[in-house]
Copies of this chain bind each other. A is one copy, B any other.
Amino acid sequence: MSIARTPQPPYTAVIFTSLRTDGDNGYDVMSERMNRLAAEQPGFLGIESARDSLGVTVSYWSSDEAAAAWKQVSEHVIAQERGRSVWYADYQVRVATVTRSYGATGSR
């Protein structure tokens, strides 16, 4: 996982934080599949993710509409349902508009 090379703002960030239940229960396979599938969607700009006691994943999209369309992709809908029922003890999704960005190698 590396730092996403996003364009100049504005664009949309979907901040997904989660606490896992115990056991894998098919999670790792699904997680990799969803990362690949997200990257194929219109308007996908990048994804950044880390997990220790908490999981924090931020996906970047060209617009709120592009992020909302990904939420409705059928295979992703099934994964979300399994997330709620099996994989996640708790989670929160926050949709945000990125207005400024700066870093080690300048704005991106």
Contacts and interface: CB of A to CB of B under 8 A. Distances in A.
A69 to B, nearest CB: 15
Contacts of A97: 96-97, 99
B1 A53 contact: yes
A5 B2 CA distance: 28
Nearest to A100: B95
A54 B3 CA distance: 8
A64 to B, nearest CB: 8
Interface string A36-67: 00000000000011111111111000001000
A55 B88 CA distance: 21
Q: How many copies does the complex hold?
A: 2
Interface in A66-108: 84, 88-105, 108
Q: Which of A17, A53, A55, A64 has most B Cβ within 10 Å? A: A17
Given A90-B105, A96-B97, 12 more contacts: A3-B17, A3-B90, A4-B17, A4-B92, A17-B48, A48-B56, A84-B104, A91-B103, A92-B104, A93-B101, A96-B96, A96-B99
